[in-house]
Structure 1
Amino acid sequence: MKTLFNKTSLLLILLFLITISSCSNKIVPTSEANYVSGKEGYITIRAIGYGKNEQEAIGNAEKQAINVILFRGLPESEQKTALIGTDESAEIGKNKVYFEKFYNQKRYKTFIMSSIPVSAFAKQNGGSKSIAVDVKINLVALRKDLEQNNVIRKFGF
């Protein structure tokens, strides 16, 4: 009898957890970004953005591309290492005011030279809608802005 009760309660808990996790529509950040091309001073990244509508998904793809440059870097590109550092939450915490303006007031868009959708906005396997966007970023301007706002040190100093 005790074994039956344990199995039943375990099954109910498992069912409850599955139900809760399937109800969540929260978009989880990913690192779905790849190097496309680049020359001295700029880089083009193909990023996947998710959203409820196409504009939201494009905006998320742009943020994704910027975040990869700032906190991860892209192998095989001019920007192999992160511009700021790999501990994203610590770096954002140290420069809270800068990043609040950068993301909330959409200052990151001033460093985007172009943003071109390269796929249709469509539902993917998991049910969320996404779009692939080629995002061209002005690395020189972004680096200079980070230096002027004391987020990073000037190269060589």
Structure 2
Amino acid sequence: MDNKHNSQPDYDLLVQQVKALGEEENYWLPVLANTSALLMNALPDLNWAGFYLMNRDSLVLGPFQGNPACIRIPLCAGVCGAAALQNKVQRVDDVHQFPGHIACDSASNAEIVIPIHKNGKLVGVLDLDSPLKNRFTEEDEAGLKKIVAALEEIAEFTD
């Protein structure tokens, strides 16, 4: 399966919607829960959209939409662990070619993970999976980075 979606989502509109989600309540839990729902509904060809949050020296499952997922991911494993450990976006066209890939859902073929920071500290990652190989484009990466920047601005992360 290759990338077959034709139209790019309006990421600027999605950023506005994410910011609106934090206007009434900026605590991270409802903001991330609603953001995962927003992304799952707005972006075509996803089978998982959610967050993993730093907890001690690993990532722990946060709010998400999709099938049940891995609960804890070491920083030395998977696309999420690589994004957190290297502190950089991981855009993977075929997860089955990614060294150390964790197959939480065998239907996932492509993945993008964006680190999230608050006050200069890594607090988690945004993780999107797709059943389509080559699903995530440079435009998706740029748009999702804007969404993460909005989350970093509005969401109140506490220890």
TM superposition score category, shorter chain reference: under 0.3
Larger RCO: 1 or 2 (CA < 8 Å, sep 6+): 2
Superposition TM-score, scaled by structure 2 size = 0.25
Largest Rg, 1 or 2: 1
Superposition TM-score, scaled by structure 1 size = 0.25
